[in-house]
Amino acid sequence: MNRAIYPLLVYPFLVISAGLAQAQTATIDHDAIRATRIATAIKIMEKITLDGHLDEQAWKEAPVASDFFQKLPRNGMPASERTETRFAYDENNLYIGVICFDTEPEKRLIKDLREDFDFGTTDLVQIFIDSLHDRRSGFTFVVNPAGAKRDSQVSTNGGANQDWDGVWDAKVSTGDHVWFIEFVIPFKTLRFSNAASQEWGVNVSRRVMHLNEESNWAPVPIRFSGNQADMAGTLRGLENIHQGRNLKFKPFAVGGGTQLRTGALRRTTKDFDGGFDAKYSLTPSMTLDATYRTDFAQVEVDQQQVNLTRFNLFFPEKRDFFLENSGIFAFGAGARSFNQSGNNLVPFFSRRIGLSAAGTPIPIIGGARVSGKMANNDVGVLTMKTEELGSTPSNNYLVGRYKRNLLRTSWVGAIVTDRESSRPNDYNRVYGPDVHFQFWQKLEIDSYALRSETPGRPGKNMARNLLTSWKADEVTASAEYNAVEPNFNPEVGFVRRGNMSQYSGDLAWNPQLRSSEMIRNLKFGAAIDYFNNNDSGELETRTQELTTGVQFENNGNINFGVNQTFDRLVLPFAIRTNTAIPVGDYDYRRYTVSFSTGTNRKLGLTGNTNWGEFWDGDNRAYTGGVNYRPNYHLNIDLSYSRNQVTLPTGAFTTGLVGARFLYGFSPRAFFNAFLQYNADTHQVSSNLRFNFTHHPLSDLYLVYNDRRDTMSGELLERAVILKLTNLFNF
C-alpha cells in the first residue's frame, strides 16, 4: 500500500476504536419488528368535515394507534414525542386522524410548501397503506405541518415511485404543543380485493427534524424505510367497501408559440393542440391507462451536465404518462429502486419514446398501458406510436414485463421490448429473464440475461449480470459481474458502456456511535472495478477507491476519498473538439473531499472538490451548492461546477452555473424558475413555470422557455406555452 495513503486510513480506525469503546450497544428484538399491531377501523356515525380538527364523534370512538419506536437515531427505542393515529371510514373514503405532540413547538421545522416536497427537510407524518395486503406493494401519503402534500406508489417492497399522483386530500391545524392532520383517501385511489371483510397492511411514520428523529408505529431496522410492506402493521375492520367504476378521464388543451433561430433565419410557429389521458380499473389490482396526442408541455428542461468521460450520460424521464407505474417495468437489481441512473444497462428507458437523442420532442400519436397484479404475478404491457418527423420514421413500440413473486420478497421475471419502424426491415428487439432472491432480509442475489435482435448485427448480441450483496445496518458488501457483447443493441434502452466485461466489489462499514450526541455514524468503504474489452480480452479500465467519512446527527457529513485509475486507450479519445488524448496506457490517482451541512437549517451548503492526475495531465474540479429557505414559501437553490483540465495536447476549463427559485403561494399554486449557464456552449437557458392546481390532479400551467448565445447575445430559441388539464373522476 502506498505510504501516502496509509496514514489517511489508519487514523480514522483509531477514531473508531475510541468511539466504540464508549458506545452503548442497543439491542433490537427482530421478532418485534415483524409483529402485528392492530388498529380497528370503525364506521362513521356522522360526516367528517375535512378541516384539520379531530372533533367529530367518530374520532372519539376510534381506537388509537400509538407507542411509536425510533428508527433513527436510537433504533428500537421509544419515540421522544408522542403520536396518536386513528382510522375511520364511510362508503367512499378512508379517513385518518393524526395527533402530533410537540414539547418544543417553536423548533418545529417546515421548509417546503410545494407538492412532493423534499422528504428530508421538514417535520412530517407519512401514512403507508398496503391495501392489497400482498406485503410487497402499497401507497404513501405524506403531510408536513404547513399542509404540503407528497405521495408515492410503492412496489417491489420498499422501492417508491415518487412521480405517482393520487386523488386525496389533507388538512392541518395547530394547537398548544400539538398539531393535527386529517387525511381523506377515496377508495377509488387505492387498489384492493372484492372481499367483504378487508385486512390491510399499514404503518405510520413521523419525522421530528430538530431531534433528527424518525419513528414508526410498526418498528423497522435502520436499513429499511417506513414503506417496507412486509414489516407493516395491520388495519382491520373494513367491511363491505368498494372501489366503484374507478374511471378517470383527463383531457388537456395546450397552445403556444415558438421562435427558433437557424443560422441567420428566425422561424416563428404557433401551435394549438389537445388530447387526453384515461384510466380504468380492469380488476381491483389491474389498471388500463390510455393516452391520445400525448403532450409534455409542463415538464422542466434537462439540467445540463459536463461529460469528461468516453461514455453516455443518463438524463432522467420527466414526462407524467411514462412516470406512473414505471416501477412495473424496472428490470434487474434496478427493479428495487426506481432510480436506475447508476445502472450500466437499462433494457427499457422510456425516454427513447417520443424524444430524439438530443432531447427534441417527436410527436406521439397515442398509446396504452396495462399494469398491475394478477394473484402472485406483476404484469405490465405498454404500446406507443410516434409520428414521422423529418428523417425519423414513424415507430411502433411494445414493452412487456412479467414477474412471478416468490417466497417473502423474491421473484423471477422477464422483459421484452420491440421497436418496429414504418420502413422495411427496420426493427429492434430485446428480451430476457431476470431473478431476485432475498434471504434473512440481508442477503440479496440478482441476475439477468438479455439478447437483442437488430438487422445487420447478428451474433455476439447478449448481455449478462450477476450481483450478490449483503446489507446489514452497519455493514454492506457486494460483488458483481457484468458483460455486454459488441452487438448488443437496446434501442429502447440505455447502455452506458458497451463491449466489455466488468468485475466489481464493494465493502462498506458504517458503525453507529450511539453514545454520541453529535455523530450518528462513521463511514469506511472500499471498491474495485475491472473492465475487460470483449474483443481483445485485455484489461481496459481498473479503478480502486478508498473512502472514509462522518455522518452527523443533523444529517450533515464530511467524506474523503482516494481513487486510483488505470485506463487503456486503443483509439484516441476526443475529450474536447480540439483536444484528444492519444492511444496508450494511463495510470493516475485522484483525491476527493466533500461535505454537507445538513437539512435542518435555513441555509444549507454542499461542496465537493477533487484534484490530482488526469490521464497524462491533471485536473482540479469544484462543485458547490447553496440552499436557502427563509420560510416555507420561498426556496432558493444555487449550484456551480468547474473543471480545470491541463493536458499535453491542450488545456481547457468547463463551467456550469444553475439557479432555481421556487415560491409557493399556497399548497396549490407555485412559481418555479430554473436558470442555467454552460460555459462550454456559451449558452444561457431559462425555464419559468407557473402552476395552479384548481382541484386534485387538475392544473393550469403557464411555461416560458428561453435559450440564448452569450457570445453574440442572440436569441436561439424561445417558447410560451399555456396548458389546462381537468380530471373527471367517475
Task: Please count the structural domains in the chain.
Answer: 2
How confident is the model over 49-63, as pLDDT tens digits?
A: 899 999 888 888 888
Plot region of 19 (φ>0 → left; ψ -120 to 50 → alpha; else → beta): alpha
Residue 235 and residue 355 share a domain: no
Higher pLDDT, 214 or 9: 214
Per-residue pLDDT band for 540 (boundaries 50, 70, 90) equals very high
Residue 400 and residue 318 share a domain: yes
Residue 469 and residue 330 share a domain: yes
Instruction: Establish if 276 belongs to a structural domain.
Output: no
Q: Beta 233-239 vs 38-40: how paired, if at all? A: parallel
Statement: residue 299 has pLDDT above 60: no
What is the average per-residue pLDDT within 188-205? Answer: 90
> What is the pLDDT, as a whole number, of residue 312?
63
What is the average per-residue pLDDT within 67-86? Answer: 92
> What is the pLDDT, as a whole number, of residue 12?
34
Grid coordinates representing 37 are 399491531
Higher pLDDT, 343 or 21: 343
Residue percentage of the chain with pLDDT more than 90: 49
CATH of the domain at 208: 2.60.40.1190
Q: What's the distance, CA 313 to chain centroid?
A: 17
Instruction: Establish if 605 belongs to a structural domain.
Output: no
Do residues 711 and 693 touch, judged by C-beta distance below 8 A? no
In DSSP notation, 653-680 reads EEEEEEEEEEEEEETTEEEEEEEEEETT
Instruction: Establish if 299 belongs to a structural domain.
Output: no
Residue 316 and residue 233 share a domain: no
Residue 319 and residue 221 share a domain: no
Instruction: Establish if 281 belongs to a structural domain.
Output: no
Instruction: Establish if 476 belongs to a structural domain.
Output: yes
Residue 338 and residue 209 share a domain: no
Instruction: Establish if 621 belongs to a structural domain.
Output: no
How confident is the model over 108-123, as pLDDT tens digits?
A: 988 888 888 888 888 9
> What is the pLDDT, as a whole number, of residue 223?
85
For 365-379, b/e burial (b = at least 16 CB within 10 A) is bbbebbbbbeeeebb
Which of 239, 256, 272 marks a domain boundary?
239
Residue 68 and residue 177 share a domain: yes
Range of the domain at 464: 312-496
> What is the pLDDT, as a whole number, of residue 412?
95
Residue 176 and residue 38 share a domain: yes
Residue 181 and residue 78 share a domain: yes
Which of 182, 208, 239 marks a domain boundary?
239
Instruction: Establish if 210 belongs to a structural domain.
Output: yes
How confident is the model over 232-267, as pLDDT tens digits?
A: 999 988 888 888 777 889 999 988 888 887 766 777
- The DSSP code for 314 is P
Residue 348 and residue 230 share a domain: no
Instruction: Establish if 165 belongs to a structural domain.
Output: yes
Which of 442, 477, 496 marks a domain boundary?
496
What is the average per-residue pLDDT within 463-474? Answer: 93
User: From CA 637, how far away is CA 675, in angstroms rounded?
Assistant: 10
> What is the pLDDT, as a whole number, of residue 14?
32
Statement: residue 385 has pLDDT above 70: yes
Cα dihedral: 204, 208, 214, 216 (round 10): -20
